[in-house]
């Protein structure tokens, strides 16, 4: 059930998030799925709201393309979560763009959406604190939300990924190859 989030000007200033979401879905433990528009760009948030309405810095915001990649990965994530719930060995990871990855991995009972970075001179990516770890129950609620959010945020239907451009070069695309290993 979508709920409206209403913010006063002062509350908005606390997080620099000007919220007039067209869609908002509680996915559990104070975490919500909602949209925002900043400088004409739409972002999809998975973020904790204080008192069910005040955005906190605890969460993530995805561009439309990255959200679309997350959407594309849902059926794979479902399979990975199912395997985990059956105590089977599981590893799934998908690059959403800009070093953001979604992953499900044995040993960690969560769906993790997180930005990584490649330190100068390093060959392996490292996780940053920018991310959310969702319980499987939260993931299922997120999934439900993502399956209807485009009715409220129709520009999600118009996403044309960078790699759909015939001149796209994956190695020079900052979205697809944000950091180059040495
Ligand atoms: Zn690209």
Residue 1 in any domain: the answer is: no
Query: How far is the centre of ligand 1, averaged over its atoms, from the C-alpha of 161 (Å)?
Result: 7
Residue 100 in any domain: the answer is: yes
Range of the domain at 104: 9-156
What is the tens place of the pLDDT at every residue in 87-124? 999 999 999 999 999 999 999 999 999 999 988 888 88
Residue 178 in any domain: the answer is: no
Helix (H, G, I), strand (E, B) or coil at 32: strand
Per-residue confidence (pLDDT) for residue 8, from 0 to 100: 43
Number of structural domains in the chain: 1
What is the tens place of the pLDDT at every residue in 114-139? 999 988 888 888 999 999 999 999 99
Residue 180 in any domain: the answer is: no
Residue 181 in any domain: the answer is: no
Query: How far is the centre of ligand 1, averaged over its atoms, from the C-alpha of 131 (Å)?
Result: 21
Query: Residue 57: CB partners within 8 Å, gap ≥ 6?
Result: 15
Query: How far is the centre of ligand 1, averaged over its atoms, from the C-alpha of 164 (Å)?
Result: 8
Residue 102 in any domain: the answer is: yes
Query: How far is the centre of ligand 1, averaged over its atoms, from the C-alpha of 54 (Å)?
Result: 34
Neighbours of ion ligand 1 (CB under 5 A): 162-163, 173, 175-176
Mean pLDDT of the region 41-50? 94
Residue 171 has pLDDT above 50, yes or no: yes
Please state, for a pLDDT cut of 90, what percent of the chain lies above it: 72
Distance CA 9, CA 15 (A): 11
Strand order in the sheet with 126-134: 91-97, 100-105, 108-117, 126-134
Query: How far is the centre of ligand 1, averaged over its atoms, from the C-alpha of 165 (Å)?
Result: 9
Distance CA 99, CA 66 (A): 10
Residue 171 in any domain: the answer is: no
pTM of the model: 0.85
Distance CA 99, CA 43 (A): 16
Which of 2-16, 32-46, 114-128, 149-163 comes out lowest in average pLDDT? 2-16
Residue 132 in any domain: the answer is: yes
CATH code, 99 = 2.30.31.10
Query: How far is the centre of ligand 1, averaged over its atoms, from the C-alpha of 81 (Å)?
Result: 28
Per-residue confidence (pLDDT) for residue 128, from 0 to 100: 92
Query: How far is the centre of ligand 1, averaged over its atoms, from the C-alpha of 169 (Å)?
Result: 7
């Amino acid at each position: 059930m979508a709920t409206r989030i209403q913010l006063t000007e002062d509350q908005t200033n606390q997080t620099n998030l000007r919220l007039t979401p067209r869609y908002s879905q509680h996915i559990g433990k104070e975490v919500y799925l909602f949209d925002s528009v900043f400088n004409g760009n739409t972002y999809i948030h998975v973020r904790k709201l204080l008192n069910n309405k005040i955005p906190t810095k605890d969460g993530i915001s995805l561009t439309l393309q990255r959200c679309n990649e997350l959407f594309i990965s849902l059926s794979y994530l479902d399979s990975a979560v199912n395997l985990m719930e059956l105590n089977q060995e599981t590893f799934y990871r998908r690059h959403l763009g800009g070093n953001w990855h979604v992953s499900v991995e044995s040993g960690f009972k969560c769906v993790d959406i997180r930005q990584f970075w490649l330190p100068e001179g390093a060959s392996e990516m490292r996780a940053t604190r920018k991310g959310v770890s969702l319980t499987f129950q939260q993931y299922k609620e997120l999934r439900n939300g993502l399956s209807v959010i485009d009715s409220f945020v129709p520009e999600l239907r118009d996403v044309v990924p960078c790699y759909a451009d015939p001149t796209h070069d994956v190695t020079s695309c900052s979205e697809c190859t944000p950091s180059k290993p040495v």
